[in-house]
Amino acid sequence: MRGRYLALAALVAAAAFIGGIALERFQTGANDGASPGQKILYWVAPMDPNFRRDGPGKSPMGMDLIPVYEGQESGGDPAAVELSGAEINAIGVRTAVARMEQVARSIETVGFVRYNEHLTSHIHTRVEGWIERLGVRAIGDRVAKGDVLFTMYAPEVTVASSELLRAIRGNDTREIGITRKKLRNFGVPESEIDRMATLDAPADRFDILAPRGGVVTALEAADGMFLKPDVRAMTISDLSQVWLLVDVFERDIGRLSSRKTATALFEHLPGKVFQGTIDYIYPELDRTTRTLPIRLSFDNAEGLLRPNMYGQVKLVPENTREALTVPMESVIRTGRAERVILRLADGTFKPRLVTTGLNDSFGGGGRTEIVQGLAPGDEVVASAQFLIDSESALNAGLLRMAPTKEEPAMGKGALVSLDGARRIAEIAHEAIPALDWPAMTTRFALTADIALDRLETGKTVKFSAMRGADGLLALHELRPDDGVDAVGTGIVEAITGDGKLSLSHDPIPELGWPAMQMDMPVRGVETAAVPLGQPVRFDLVKDDGGTFVITAVRPAASKQADQDKRKDEPAKMDSPAPGPEPEAEPMRLTRTDGTINAIDTANRTANISHGPLKEIGMPGMTMDFPLAGDLSAESLVTGPAQVVIGLGPDGKMVLAGATPAKPPMKAVGTINSVDPQARTANITHGPLADIGMPGMTMDFPVADGVDIDALPLNAEIEIHLQQNPDFSLTLTGVSEGRS
């Protein structure tokens, strides 16, 4: 119960904060944005910019609606969030740039500093004797190579020294060599033997010298001590190099190699990174901890590392790769997907789905690899992103960025690399509007049914991607770009006066088109040579306007051209025994403007002249549509309307709905200029009384059915304007004279 209260309190606090942003916008917008005479366009809810009304009132949450003035209109994207400079400062927005960085899959572990046993010397004598003067007094004393460790009296050395002097006096070279060798075997340093050879009397003392520089790590010797060969007098270790002993988990053993480099961090030395190498990989696993000991070697010329120090270690492969990275804190992780908040060029913020790779396992740490979704230079929010995330209309924004099997994201680009064994393709692709992705290079996983034998690196390819249950994108289609988007079969009935082919075609599954009769435009086709009344195959290519045109026509019996581009279809299998009917797949809906010409109530059909259906690339035409099962024929009226066309999983098209279009608004005006490419017209018009708009000069989009080249310029005419659902206006026609 206590947890529920805490959760409720957190929700109230979040709502209060977001409401505060909305209130602040309302106040600053009302005070700063509303200059005298500025017109209110509409009213919106503070918490839902999609809730609009023509006048003041209350939102569904009981909050006062906020006026939106001219010049303050949003861009129409419900996922985008606009923040003022004051709001950015208030919530502490910080951004970071996505950048390319060397990354590698490293192994992280911990370890302890140990003495390098290869640089350790144990001091023993080879004869018995007494220590008369000790040069080292305590453990930890530092010594240099050649320093006197202690002076020793040994009777055997005294006797050998006497023999050396006798051989020298007798000038017996052979005896001198034998005696010097005996002294060396007794452990007497060469410098001490040379000193003994210059004495007048046998030496009764000799010095034991340090064999290396370092630190005394063990000390058994003492003044006056009787020393035997089996007693260790002391131990000296050189700390200019040390070992770091670490343990690696069993799951990481397969990624170990002697070519990995090691980096170590120590808490008492913040910011100091030590570089080392793998010195030895032990052969036996610890049966208790299931870890494998690894010995690392580090340079310690500065003496900063001391035995038994605890350090954090990272083992990095010698070969790294370059990848796009962002700060770890900029990634918002949910149970189903990962996303970042992207700062756009116009200063707005927008969520974008991404696919991440390695996390905090490379470089200086604290960064995440982005496999899909961002391009170098993109600016992401690294703090306060959760507040912006809650402010944005994520449902609309993210649903558009989550392609499904029914509506995959289509793309095109150059195949950079192809790994058939791992089934990974790297593609430098163009912008993908369905994902809201810019042009960039992305690595995709490939499904098992994609044939790879026709793919060549460096060539242009087309692909379709969808997001799986794990939130990751994968390609379900990848093929060479042969310039043809689809191939259809049908019969050309006639050639129209404007050069189109009037044909009855079979269903085209690649485009989701059902069987129908339509007039299709052509490009590069000699229409006089097209056979009429005979089965043909035709190639379809999408033009710049998003509709398909026919680029080639050939007899249906000639399939050689298709065989050059496509594999033979697999042989049909015997139909399996009927089982339970699968659940019906949802119907795809697309909207367009059109005119309902006639309604056949008995047969439940409607004859409609519609505009282009750009979602499926179908040009505008007139055809009969069956009515959807839940659509009443009595609810339809003839005349202009916005029609909703449904495309079922069987490829059949039905009329799913229709909304009668409002009669166009009329005003007196003058067309100053037109832009045929942008399909806009600059118009100076009088007042529009229907919406209270004063006369002004502005650019209007021109409806698809209007011949823009035929519009009269610089003449006073009556213009017809249609108001769209987003309150924008479109020029739908003109007429001579004044209204």
Whether residue 578 has pLDDT greater than 90: no
Cα–Cα nearest to 79, from 402, 400, 335, 409: 400
The Cα 185–Cα 167 span in angstroms is 18
- In the chain, the amino acid numbered 377 is G
Q: Are 711 and 701 in contact (CB under 8 A)?
A: no
- Domains of the chain plus CATH, in order, are 2-73 (no CATH), 125-232 (2.40.50.100), 241-316 (2.40.30.170), 322-399 (2.40.420.20), 409-480 (2.40.50.320), 486-565 (2.40.50.320), 588-660 (2.40.50.320), 665-735 (2.40.50.320)
The torsion angle over the Cα atoms of residues 570, 576, 578 and 581, rounded to 10 degrees, is -40
Element (H, E) at 159: helix 155-169
| Between 383 and 389, the higher pLDDT residue | 383
What is the per-residue pLDDT for 282?
93
Residue with tokens 């002697």: 258
pLDDT at 427: 93
Please state the separation of Cα 434 from the chain's center in Å.
Answer: 16
Confidence of residue 560 (pLDDT cuts 50, 70, 90): very low
Determine the average pLDDT of the residues in 505-532. 82
The Cα–Cα gap between 425 and 337 comes to: 22
* The residue type at 454: R
DSSP states of 647-672: E-TTS-EEEEEEEEPPPPEEEEEEEE
pLDDT at residue 238 in the model: 92
The residue among 46 and 72 whose pLDDT is bigger is 46
402 — pLDDT class (breaks 50, 70, 90): low
Contact between residue 541 and residue 520 where contact means Cβ atoms under 8 Å apart: no
pLDDT greater than 90 at residue 25:
no
Positive/negative CA dihedral, 390, 391, 393, 394: negative
- pLDDT band at 393, cuts 50/70/90? very low
pLDDT of residue 621: 76
What pTM value is reported for the model? 0.42
pLDDT of amino acid 41: 80
Burial of 113 (0-12, 13-18, 19+ CB in 10 A): buried
Question: pLDDT, tens digit, for every residue of 79-133?
Answer: 666 666 666 666 677 888 888 887 777 888 999 999 999 999 999 988 999 998 9
pLDDT tens digits along 291-343? 999 999 999 999 899 999 999 998 887 777 788 888 888 888 876 678 888 88
Contact between residue 47 and residue 65 where contact means Cβ atoms under 8 Å apart: no
- The more confident residue out of 734 and 646 is 734
pLDDT score of 541 more than 80: yes
- 169-186 confidence digits (pLDDT tens): 888 889 989 989 988 888
Write out pLDDT tens, residues 78-91.
566 666 666 666 66
Tokens coding 194: 């040379």
Contacts of 627 (CB under 8 A, 6+ apart): 604, 605, 606, 633, 636, 654, 655
d(CA 361, CA 58): 51
SS3 600: strand
pLDDT value of position 197: 87
Using the predicted structure, report yes or no on whether residue 572 has a pLDDT greater than 60.
Answer: no
**473-480 and 440-446 as β-strands: parallel, antiparallel, unpaired?**
parallel
Work out the pLDDT band at 15, boundaries 50, 70, 90: very low
Given a contact cutoff of 8 angstroms between Cβ atoms, the answer to whether 705 and 611 are in contact is yes
Q: At 80, is the secondary structure helix, strand, or coil?
A: coil
Q: Reduced to 3 states, what is the DSSP secondary structure of residue 213?
A: coil
d(CA 680, CA 673): 9
- For the residues 174-203, what does the mean pLDDT come to? 88
Question: Pairing state of beta strands 273-281 and 48-53?
Answer: unpaired
- Of 241 and 77, which is predicted with more confidence? 241
214-219 and 142-143 beta bridge pairing: antiparallel
Q: What is the pLDDT of residue 739?
A: 43
